[in-house]
Structure 1
Amino acid sequence: MQVLKFGGSSVANAENINKVIALVKQALAKDKTILVVSALGGITDKLIQAAQSAATGDESYKEKLQEIENRHIETVRALLPLTGQSSVLSAVKTRCNEIEDICSGVFLLGELSARTQDKIVSYGELLSSFIIAARFESAGIANAWKDSRELIRTDSRFGHAAVDFVTTNARILGYILENPAVNLFILPGFIASDSHNVTTTLGRGGSDYTAAIVAAALDGHTLEIWTDVSGMMTADPRLVSNPRLIPNISYQEAMELSHFGAKVIYPPTIQPVMRKGIPVWIKNTFAPADPGTVIEFETTNNGSSIRGISSIAKVALLSLEGSGMVGIPGFSKRLFEALSGQQINVILITQGSSEHSICVGVDENSASAAKQAVDNAFDYEINTGIVEPLIIETGLAIIALVGDHMKSHPGVSGKMFGALGRNGVNVRAIAQGSSERNISAVVAADDVRKAINVLHEEFFETSYKQINLFITGTGNVGHRLIAQLLQQRSYLQEHLRIQIRIIGLANSRKMVFNNEGISLDNWQHHLDNGQPMQLDEWIAGITSRNLRNTVFADVTANADVASRYAALLQKSISVVACNKIACSSIYGNYRLLKDLAREFNAPFLFETNVGAGLPVIGTLNDLLRSGDKVRRIQAVLSGTLNFVFNNYNGQRPFSDVVRQAQEEGYTEPDPRLDLSGTDVMRKIMILARESGEKTEMEDIGNRSFMPASCMQGSVADFYAAMTKEEAHFKQLYQAAASEGKKLKFVASYDNGKASVGLEHIGPEHDLYHLYGKDNVVLFYTDRYPEQPLVVKGAGAGADVTASGVFADILRAINS
């Protein structure tokens, strides 16, 4: 004997019902079959809505009932030949009239009891199963339709009745034995009756339970649950874009997942079949060839200690706290008795070893009743101050990791909470049973999608890790960065298992978001057609999306953008800054950003602030982390100035060389920032700060070589003034050349003091052989006291700067 159950989506219309007919035909070729069906898809909800409308005096319930009747009549006409419709339509009409009579009574009374609602919703399954039985008859397949209320006996807890298995099992077995010639039995799911033959229901999703009850009563060899998905998944497909099918799962794991929100199977379904060891298959009516999921005792490891991830929404935390609870027995008992007295189900329990508080999770809709009941129960203790009034927190959800194999894999909880912490998901409460089959955490409801994606990526993703990137600035460097992301897309996925999606792009004029990722092939078109750039809206759009593995890349020189870093870091969004303004602002702001990055597990990386793509800051941090101490730094940190002095020989105007550097993209938009030494001052200050110094810009000495006349007015005025001061620049060159030396603009840091200025550098010096736009940094440390650690290479240019930002993006997500 085998039992097949088809859910509401599988019998939603005539087309789907014909698919069911075909599948049952195949099953009948193997063994006798009991078919359990749900109401037509959506009908149960419509019946409840009609009943509730009637109870509130809303006459629109009649329209809802008419829709229900029309839906069933249309289904009959689509399924049955004209000659076979009359009796079925008559029966449908009779039952629809009965529904209307009951709803009329509800309307007149203005009251809808749980008992009456059970009676009304029972018609969904009664109608669908009767129509489907008629369809089998018209197809020449003999069957016996049976009202499940005559077989399944329950108590009188309307809406969620408990089954009397002794009576029920005897009735089911007796009925089947009385009909040995029947190969196909058809039963309506979900419905039952109490000892007074009053209609009850088994809870939403109860058709699964009906099928399991029947399978267990008959010692069936298999139970098949046919639905609209191809089995149980590692996470909810509505929340995770690439969940994996679970091919096999234990009864206990399936119960845990279904309890925590996995909608594929109704939680009570597992218990009856588990007692008998009957395997349960979850199959897809619309893709019957898919393997599906089998639920049984013995399962194989799927390569992970975790079988699946699930969640429960709309949870409230109830916290009972007070010093008077410590060491006093009975507080927990009284708390649970108070909740039980109000029929409030406890989802999660956690208590600290101090016994100062106990925390439970309940359905959010029960929170108010829970507070009243508990405060009443502890009225004396609250009035005497030894216990606080019950504290309620709403807007929460529970996420759960489920797996039988967690107990043999140390570190699962550490991995779970580490992943959540890195993504800024705050955990409000934690629970883990001694079976170690489930680790549950309470988080903000707004964080559920991100949390589940984070955990799914951490425990199941063998393909790639997804980075959600927001880029501000699409000038030379930003443009090159996007080009490099496009170029390396395949490499990152194939070799690093990383997929970078640009979710948002912005420049000074426009901004655009796309949660599925902006196409890198035509990003300019999308940005040009975006909305006007408003910085506050841009930042709000990033934080409100609350995506996992989020990185914000600032490829601008804008102070307003830099001022928003703190707000991003506080949302656990990593910040990659090409922009030097934040790190060269007052020390207190620099320190704040570093502290926020540490506090909220959000890397703040700014390698390109010094030396473009050169690993200057990274090398310095490696030295410090390994216990070395920086004593002195000498550096040429301006690719612009190095380019200028490498190309100026007194024969060609100094202003022409500067203009060439600007045209080739080596200078700031205003070249005076480079030539004045201000940019180099910022860089050496950043290195001094990273070395541990509390340094401000006014602490940096600057031996400027630029005449004051060149530093006034506009950029055009700047070039004109340089032309007039040509003799000054020529004299600087000749003074160095006469000594056989070169001009280098050098930044120095020596035991807490930093300065910048133009120097004459001889051939014996490490800074002498520095060509083009190259930078060089010499680190003199306790480990490198005489022969310095040297970092040397191109220190300016859009391509190398973009590559440095690119590297920081990857570093941020792997920190």
Structure 2
Amino acid sequence: MQVLKFGGTSVGSPEAIQKVIAIVSEKLKKNTVITVVSAFGGTTDSLLLCGQMASQGDEQYKELIQQLTGRHLNAVKQLIPIQQQSSYLSAVKKLCNEVEDLCTGIFLLGETTARTKDKLVSYGELISSQVIAAAFQSKGIATTWWDSRKLIRTNSDFGNATVNFSSTSALLQAAKQELATDHIVMPGFIAANPEGITTTLGRGGSDYTAAIAAACLDAQELEIWTDVSGMMTADPRWVPNAKVIPTISYQEAMELSHFGAKVIYPPTIQPVMNKQIPVWIKNTFAPMDPGTCIQQEGYRNGNPVRGISSISKLALLSLEGSGMVGVPGFSRRLFEALSAEQINVILITQGSSEHSICVGVDESAAEKAKKSVDEAFAPEISLQKVEPLEIEKGLSIVALVGEQMKSHPGISGKLFGALGRNGVNVRAIAQGSSERNISAVISTSDVRKAINLLHEEFFETSLKQVNLFISGVGNVGSRLLQQVYQQQQYLLHHNRLQLRVVGLANSKKFLISDDAIDLSNWKNLLDSGSEGTIDDFVDGIIERNLRNTVFVDITASDLVAGVYPRLLEKSCAVVACNKIACSSPYSYYRELKDKARSNNTSFLFETNVGAGLPVIGTLNDLLKSGDKVNRIEAVLSGTLNYVFNHYDGTLPFAEIVRKAQEEGYTEPDPRLDLSGTDVMRKIMILAREAGEQLEMDTIINHRFLPASCMEGSVEDFYASMLKEEDHFKSIFTEANKNGNKLKFVAAFHNGKAEVGLQQIAPGHDLFHLYGKDNIVLFYTERYPEQPMVIKGAGAGADVTASGVFADILRATLT
């Protein structure tokens, strides 16, 4: 004998019921089958709403009953040949009339009871089971309809009755002896107490009905048919990469179902586990899928974690006080106070100091719990030995479940490490001695991110998803997007890194997508995005709260640099091409570094100095390995190096600068480069990274531009340079006469920094520097005479974008 249970979705339409008939027909070729069915999808909720509306005096319940009646009559008309419909239509109409009579009584009384609710909602299964039994019979399949109210005996706890297995087993065995067919259809969810009064088995009770029948009749197996292809490693609505669990133990299935896995009703497991009856979770709409088998010992594939689940709408209750330490009985009194109000405790945790005890309960019961507990501890509260009960709402439990976790060290470390790296704060922890379940209480707003993180950590270790939000899509930004687009498949296949750009912003508009933005069409997509500021963009980033988030700033905006703290506080990594943040007052620079460290995330800005050259990374490596920087000499402006490498007096200096701007080497206002301001920022950033608390106003700048060139617009600047051509030519002529080259040099030594134009002799390391190249010389304790030299292209959109890209990859690997 097999017991098959079909849920509300599986019998939600005539088309779905036809699939049920096909599935059962195949089973009947080999075995006797009991088919347990739920109400048509959504019917139970509609019946409860009818009762609620009637009790509130709302006569619209009649319209809702008419809709329910029409739905069930239509099912008869579609499932049963017209010549056989009459008696079945009458039977359905009769039952629907009883529903209306019951609701009329509720309407007249103006109230309803738990007993009345049980009676009312029982009609969903009564009608569906009789319609489905008739549909089988119309197909020529001999079918017997069993009334669960006559076979399953319970106590009188209406709404969630407890089954009397001894009486139920005897009744089912007797019915089996009288059975004249190989197929039985019976309603799930409903039962009756010893007086024959209708009771129900609680939400999801049809699963329980099927398990009771399977256990009492010693079935070979139980199959739960639903709309998913088995139990999943996580909720597929939240985790797109969730996988079907092939086999799972009874204990693991109970843990997962208790912690929010909706595929199976928690009490279902116990009856079949006692009889060692395998349970299959199958998909009505994909019957060939293997599904999940629940049995004594699940198949082991090397992963000790079976699944991840969660419970929402949790409140944390904390009882604290110095008067609790070393005093027995406090826990007992706490739980007695909660039990007296019939408040179920979901989670318990207590520190070894005994100074506090914390329990998790359903959020709806929190206020009632506080009143009860505060009354129970009123004497201690009045003496200030115990604090009034504290309530924290808006929480959820995320749980890892796995029978074999107890024999695998490091599971908890991986769990809390993954959460910590992404800024998910853990409010409480619970783990039983069996180590079958590790639970963490977190903010409900973090649940989706947490489950995706943990699924990635335990089930997708070879693939990591990174979500990029990029501000600034100009010259460098567009090159970065092109590079990411080109490398996405390479990173996926060679590094198992799924790099997704999910947010873009410019100075006027922003675009945030739940899916990866199509980088072959990003310009049009951004043009049709939302108008807003950088704060609006950051609000969207924080609201989505995605795992492994990296914010990339490729602007020169102080407004964008000002949002870094908000992002770092949420454990979003920040990659900055923008130099403003790191060249701001030292206190702000230090704040950003500290926030990144305290929130376990990355703040990277390699391209602030040397574009794509590994200058800052090398400096940090020297310091981490114990070296000390004594002196830095550098040519840090690709623009200035380009200009002085090309200027020989034959063309005006202004023309060389304009060409550099056209090539994309300068800032939008070239005076930031030629005035030395940009170089001052860069040497200050290097000095700060070397450990010096340097500020901009302490850096000496030996300017070579005449004061007239610093006034007016950019075009005024070019006009002034033409007028000052003799000044520039004389600087070049003097250096050339001495056989030297002009280089704009930045230096840091003995805690002081200066920048300025210098004549460089042929034997110096800075002499042979061509084009737009940068060079940095680190004189350290390990490199006292012959410095460590970093040299290469220090300007250009492509190399700068590649430096940003490298920082993104560093941030994803921390």
**TM-score relative to the length of structure 2:** 0.99
The Cα offsets for residues 174-194 of structure 1, whole Å up to 9 and x where unpaired, read as 221232x42111110011111
Distance 1:447 1:18 in 2: 41
Distance 1:223 1:661 in 2: 77
Residue 202 of structure 1 and its aligned partner are, at CA, apart by 0.7
Give the counterpart letter for 1:580 in structure 2. Answer: K
Does 2:444 align with 1:445?
yes
- Computed over aligned residues only, the root mean square deviation of the Cα atoms, in angstroms, reads 1.1
> For residue 169 of structure 2, what is the aligned residue in structure 1?
169
> For residue 140 of structure 2, what is the aligned residue in structure 1?
140
> For residue 158 of structure 2, what is the aligned residue in structure 1?
158
Residue 536 of structure 1 and its aligned partner are, at CA, apart by 2.3
> For residue 524 of structure 2, what is the aligned residue in structure 1?
525
SS of 1:97's equivalent in the other structure is: helix
Distance 2:191 2:383 in 1: 49
The Cα offsets for residues 640-695 of structure 1, whole Å up to 9 and x where unpaired, read as 01111111112221111111111100001111111111100000000000011100
Structure 1 unmatched ranges of 5 or more: none
> For residue 31 of structure 1, what is the aligned residue in structure 2?
31
Q: Which moved more, 1:158-167 or 1:795-804?
A: 158-167
The answer to whether the 8 Å contact 1:507/1:533 transfers is: no
Residue pairs, 1:389-428, within 5 angstroms = 389-428=388-427
Residue pairs, 1:13-24, within 5 angstroms = 13-24=13-24
The answer to whether the 8 Å contact 2:246/2:299 transfers is: no
> For residue 87 of structure 2, what is the aligned residue in structure 1?
87
Residue 535 of structure 1 and its aligned partner are, at CA, apart by 2.5
Residue 808 of structure 1 and its aligned partner are, at CA, apart by 1.0
Q: Which moved more, 1:281-290 or 1:511-520?
A: 511-520
Distance 1:631 1:209 in 2: 75
Distance 2:120 2:22 in 1: 31
Residue 302 of structure 1 and its aligned partner are, at CA, apart by 3.1
The Cα offsets for residues 63-101 of structure 1, whole Å up to 9 and x where unpaired, read as 111111111111011111112111111111111111111
Residue 374 of structure 1 and its aligned partner are, at CA, apart by 1.2
Give the counterpart letter for 1:586 in structure 2. Answer: P
**TM-score relative to the length of structure 1:** 0.99
> For residue 193 of structure 1, what is the aligned residue in structure 2?
192
Residue 462 of structure 1 and its aligned partner are, at CA, apart by 4.5
The Cα offsets for residues 595-637 of structure 1, whole Å up to 9 and x where unpaired, read as 1111112211111000001111111111111111111111111
> For residue 222 of structure 1, what is the aligned residue in structure 2?
221
Distance 1:510 1:13 in 2: 46
> For residue 710 of structure 1, what is the aligned residue in structure 2?
709
Does 2:624 align with 1:608?
no
> For residue 332 of structure 1, what is the aligned residue in structure 2?
331
> For residue 43 of structure 1, what is the aligned residue in structure 2?
43
SS of 2:709's equivalent in the other structure is: helix
> For residue 590 of structure 1, what is the aligned residue in structure 2?
589
Does 2:251 align with 1:266?
no
Residue pairs, 1:133-532, within 5 angstroms = 133-179=133-179, 181-462=180-461, 464-532=463-531
Distance 1:443 1:390 in 2: 20
The answer to whether the 8 Å contact 1:248/1:300 transfers is: yes
Give the counterpart letter for 2:19 in structure 1. Answer: K
Distance 2:772 2:300 in 1: 57
Give the counterpart letter for 1:144 in structure 2. Answer: T
The answer to whether the 8 Å contact 2:10/2:16 transfers is: yes
Give the counterpart letter for 2:173 in structure 1. Answer: L
Distance 1:347 1:698 in 2: 60
The answer to whether the 8 Å contact 2:250/2:297 transfers is: no
The Cα offsets for residues 439-489 of structure 1, whole Å up to 9 and x where unpaired, read as 111111111111111111111114521111111111100010111011111
The answer to whether the 8 Å contact 2:230/2:292 transfers is: yes
Residue 787 of structure 1 and its aligned partner are, at CA, apart by 1.6
Give the counterpart letter for 2:685 in structure 1. Answer: I
Residue pairs, 1:508-587, within 5 angstroms = 508-587=507-586
Q: Which moved more, 1:383-392 or 1:6-15?
A: 383-392
Distance 1:168 1:790 in 2: 85
Give the counterpart letter for 1:651 in structure 2. Answer: T
Structure 2 unmatched ranges of 5 or more: none
Residue pairs, 1:624-703, within 5 angstroms = 624-703=623-702
Q: Which moved more, 1:727-736 or 1:424-433?
A: 727-736
Which portions of structure 1, spanning 4 or more consecutive aligned residues, are displaced by more than 3 angstroms?
none
Distance 1:195 1:370 in 2: 34
Give the counterpart letter for 1:735 in structure 2. Answer: E
SS of 1:399's equivalent in the other structure is: strand
Q: Which moved more, 1:16-25 or 1:598-607?
A: 598-607
SS of 2:3's equivalent in the other structure is: strand
Q: Which moved more, 1:778-787 or 1:74-83?
A: 778-787
Residue 521 of structure 1 and its aligned partner are, at CA, apart by 0.7
Distance 2:706 2:676 in 1: 12
SS of 1:94's equivalent in the other structure is: helix
Distance 1:324 1:58 in 2: 53
Q: Which moved more, 1:374-383 or 1:74-83?
A: 374-383
Residue 248 of structure 1 and its aligned partner are, at CA, apart by 0.9
The answer to whether the 8 Å contact 1:506/1:533 transfers is: no
Distance 2:307 2:423 in 1: 22
Residue pairs, 1:121-132, within 5 angstroms = 121-132=121-132
SS of 2:393's equivalent in the other structure is: strand
Q: Which moved more, 1:152-161 or 1:19-28?
A: 152-161
Distance 2:637 2:282 in 1: 66
SS of 1:57's equivalent in the other structure is: coil
> For residue 622 of structure 1, what is the aligned residue in structure 2?
621
Give the counterpart letter for 1:420 in structure 2. Answer: L
Distance 1:305 1:621 in 2: 39
> For residue 761 of structure 1, what is the aligned residue in structure 2?
760
Distance 1:253 1:140 in 2: 41
SS of 2:294's equivalent in the other structure is: strand
Distance 1:802 1:707 in 2: 33
Residue 531 of structure 1 and its aligned partner are, at CA, apart by 2.2
Distance 1:810 1:347 in 2: 41
The Cα offsets for residues 279-322 of structure 1, whole Å up to 9 and x where unpaired, read as 11000000001111111112222332211111111111111111
